[in-house]
A and B are shown apart, each in its own frame.
Chain A
Amino acid sequence: MPLQSLDIKRMSATTVQPPSVREPITGTVAKLIDTTKCIGCKACQTACMEWNDLRDEVGENHGTYDNPTDMTENSWTVMRFSEYENPNGDLEWLIRKDGCMHCEDPGCLKACPAPGAIVQYTNGIVDFQEENCIGCGYCVSGCPFDVPRISKKDSRAYKCTMCSDRVAVGQEPACVKTCPTGAIVFGTKEDMKQHAEERITDLKSRGFENAGLYDPLGVGGTHVMYVLHHADNPSLYHGLPNKPRISPMVGIWKGLSKPLAVASMAAAAVIGFFHYTRIGPNEVTEKDEQEAAEAAKAAKAATAATSSPSEEAHHE
């Protein structure tokens, strides 16, 4: 880790409590993305590139404004543009800034086998520590939002850090700082929820009766939240999961099966040991050898007798 941190709530592949004596008195932080204020200018994408020194390959136009078309190890956030025809027959252009949701119960962290490759700070930010990453891609399986990307260059996983380096020194994430419409705001999670509430009241008064906050409970809530015009159907926003949760298969794999399997294997070995000390080995005795030698001799004699009847089998 580049900086020693005393503010770690959870650490991947670590069964003991990491250093966590300091707790933020004001609670955790959150980034609130108001899709109703977003104009799709991509300034946040640019700010992310600049602050993190990332430059993705220049791609090709695929007929949409999504550029690049997907998140990569070099594009930690991407604007998603969805065209939605509402029941009145009107077109709605739903734009969502996609990226890590910083889950309170992070599937990536749960799935990760490398100690300390994924940490969750006490402020709620989920961060990858690439020097500990082994490149297995389990975080990709664990994530309900399809966020982590494995670099082909160094086989390590990357995603949005919520500018943990900026937040650590009291600054807002780069995307927040740059957003020209104030669609992205940053603060304590409580403040952000309050702010969202005001926005939702306003939206409802303007006819968006399904406006609401996206802070899904299936992953314990998130530290990146959305204000949506259609909170009743988040999937309209480029497939934002309606009810995200860590897959039960990942839950079994990384939950009960781990201690159970290791304990069972240890038990098998221990049972073997006690079988050996209580019942003992199965050994061939001198008597067994003698009987076997006689049986072999008898068989030889029998064969000899059938091949040449004049020879008598000799019994001892």
Chain B
Amino acid sequence: MNNHHDASKIERYTANDRSYHWATAMTFILLAISGLAMFHPSLFWLSNLLGGGQWTRILHPFIGLLMFGLFAVLVFRFWHHNVMEPVDHQWMKQMPDVIHNREENLPHIGRYNAGQKILFFVLIFCMAGLLLSGVVIWRAYFSWVFPIGLIRFSALLHAFCAFVLMTSIIVHIYAAIWVKGSIGAMMRGSVSLGWARKHHRLWFDEVVKASEEKH
């Protein structure tokens, strides 16, 4: 990792962290595009990505299972960083400071801020909802098992969870573009000392302390 060679860098994501993240992201993109194709008529042309309407209908649920599996690994790897703490409530209260880049006014936070933690839990809720409702509306294999009322409810739930998920991911992607250095963190695994200290002071202190104690 870079940080062993370069004292100005801190490792934020291991190679495995990054691989699971990007594999999940790839499946998400395929699912969002094929799902939107089946959601709104004006977006049906997106079904061409997977090779037409029938292929979209065939592949979408299988890719969905894959995404759920990959995401479950991410949850397992990151959940202990995402426990809400008292400081997170203060951070949320100062949303105007967050939005206007007045980071010096914000309380010092650990590895993730409250927004990131909320995203984490929203994603878990959406992924679980999508998996359960998706199985119910999977016509080729499972729909005959379930009563029609449940199938109708699941179709609506699936659309709702997908909407919340996609909107959250739009925010997630924008946040990565907004806070410079974030994309590098997930692409290459490391952040600069300045980035870590500016955005995640407590995590920076922890890492610096831990790395010195190792020597």
Contacts and interface: CB of A to CB of B under 8 A. Distances in A.
Real complex partners, A and B?
Answer: yes
B39 interface: yes
Interface stretch (B12-20, B75-83, B115-123, B165-173): B165-173
Contact of B155 (A138, A268, A276, A299): A138
Most A CB within 10 A of own CB, among B7, B57, B160, B179: B57
A135 B139 contact: yes
Contact of B39 (A113, A264, A300): A113
B9 to A, nearest CB: 11
B197 A288 contact: yes
Interface string A198-226: 00000000000000000000000000000
Interface string A94-122: 00000000000000000001110000000
Interface string A239-268: 000000001011011000111011011001
Nearest to A13: B41
Contacts of B40: 258-259, 261-262
A54 interface: no
A150 B144 CA distance: 11
Contact of B170 (A113, A114, A137, A265): A265
A131 to B, nearest CB: 10
A283 B40 CA distance: 38
Interface in B36-93: 36-44, 47, 52-54, 56-58
Contact of A115 (B39, B41, B199): B41
Nearest to A283: B180
A81 B156 CA distance: 35
B163 A299 contact: no
Contacts of B170: 265, 268-269, 272
A247 B149 CA distance: 9
Interface in B128-181: 137, 139-140, 143, 148-149, 151-153, 155-156, 159-160, 163, 166-167, 170-171, 174, 177-181
A280 B148 CA distance: 49
Residues of B in contact with A, size category? 35 or more
B212 A284 contact: no
B112 to A, nearest CB: 16
A104 B92 CA distance: 51
A138 B35 CA distance: 13
B109 interface: no
A5 interface: no
Contacts of B171: 268, 272
Interface residues of A, number: 54
Which of B8, B36, B42, B205 is most buried by chain A, counting CB atoms within 10 A of its CB? B42
B179 A295 contact: no
B127 to A, nearest CB: 18
Nearest to B198: A288
Interface string B173-199: 010011111000000000011111111
A6 interface: no
A276 B100 CA distance: 10
Nearest to A247: B152
A60 interface: no
A304 B211 CA distance: 12
28 contacts: A113-B39, A115-B44, A134-B47, A134-B52, A134-B56, A136-B57, A137-B143, A250-B156, A252-B156, A257-B159, A259-B40, A261-B39, A261-B163, A262-B40, A265-B166, A269-B170, A272-B170, A272-B177, A272-B178, A275-B174, A275-B178, A276-B178, A282-B178, A284-B181, A290-B194, A292-B196, A292-B204, A300-B208
Given A253-B152, A281-B177, 5 more contacts: A249-B153, A284-B180, A288-B197, A292-B196, A300-B208
